[in-house]
Structure 1
Amino acid sequence: MGAGHALVVDDDETIREVAQMALELVGGWRVTTAADGAEAVELARTHRPDVVLLDVMLPRVDGPAILSMLRAESATRDIPIIYLTAKATPGREEEWSQTGATGVIAKPFDPMTLADDVARLIGRDT
């Protein structure tokens, strides 16, 4: 059955590719990717992923704004959202959680532990 379906949202193609490979090959996830906010919201609506990995710094519409859009719709309101950010610093976890995110994974992330990190943050056994 696999671990579920993840939507990875990042404007950096390399980050999307590494995350996709890490989640699919190491974690057994099915992965859909998006390069921007509009695409992310549409894919979340249509695919209803089990988790969204969301870059904080995106062009035009940033991660927190996308999170707000997803939380405002009944179809996407309950999807766990994990921020992917280079700005994750120790001690700021509470600040991120106040935005409604389920958790934060710092970039650069370890491809070998990404699937386990995601599963831990959303409360799934690996």
Structure 2
Amino acid sequence: MEKLQRILHVDDAEDIRMIIKISLEMIGGYHVDQFESGQEAMDGAKGCNPQLFLLDFMMPDMDGMETWSALKTLPGFADIPAVFVTAKAEDNFSQNMLNKGALSVITKPFDPAELCAEIEKAWSAHLEKIEGSV
């Protein structure tokens, strides 16, 4: 089973980026590359080698789904899964995101101490799905 090590995170809110970076790096031991917009992620992603995208859904210019679609056009990024973080807590919104291929939808506000566990759960389910289809 491939261990998750590298995450590309996009969120327009500086405080959320800081909380997520501290949580994922200090608690989870992940390497996190962060960007504040979809366009910034597109411009800087090439050197990141992410295994997972962690994307805010509601952002100016490009929302999280548009950012994911754009990132997947980069060479080597087509099959990278995404977890979305959003303040939109409606069940039908989360289900719609899952139907579009998201591994998980994490609702803001979230518990920084539980963030790594939620991402690991989504990653494990992703790997089981891949291994089951081989």
Name the TM-score, length of structure 2 as normaliser.
0.82
- Counterpart of 1:109? 110
**For residue 103 of structure 1, what is the amino acid of its counterpart?**
S
**For residue 102 of structure 1, what is the amino acid of its counterpart?**
L
Q: Matches of residues 3-82 of structure 1 in structure 2 within 5 Å?
A: 3-82=4-83
State how far apart, in whole Å, the 2-side matches of 1:41 and 1:88 are: 27
State how far apart, in whole Å, the 2-side matches of 1:3 and 1:97 are: 20
Write out the 4+ residue segments of structure 1 that deviate beyond 6 Å after TM superposition: none
The CA deviation string for residues 8-67 of structure 1, in whole angstroms up to 9 with x for no partner, is: 110000000000000011111111110001111233332121211101111111111111
State how far apart, in whole Å, the 1-side matches of 2:98 and 2:6 are: 22
CA RMSD for the aligned pairs?
Answer: 2.0
Q: What SS does structure 2 have at the residue aligned with 1:115? A: helix
State how far apart, in whole Å, the 1-side matches of 2:50 and 2:120 are: 13
State how far apart, in whole Å, the 2-side matches of 1:105 and 1:40 are: 20
Contact 2:58-2:86 within 8 A present in 1 as well: yes
Shift, 1:103, TM fit: 1.5
Q: Higher helix fraction: Structure 1 or Structure 2? A: 2
Contact 1:88-1:106 within 8 A present in 2 as well: yes
Contact 1:44-1:76 within 8 A present in 2 as well: no
Shift, 1:99, TM fit: 2.5
- Counterpart of 2:87? 86
**For residue 124 of structure 2, what is the amino acid of its counterpart?**
G
Q: What SS does structure 2 have at the residue aligned with 1:72? A: coil
Unaligned runs of 5+ in 2: 128-134
State how far apart, in whole Å, the 1-side matches of 2:59 and 2:122 are: 22
% same residue: 35
Shift, 1:93, TM fit: 3.1
Contact 1:6-1:52 within 8 A present in 2 as well: yes
Number of paired residues? Answer: 124
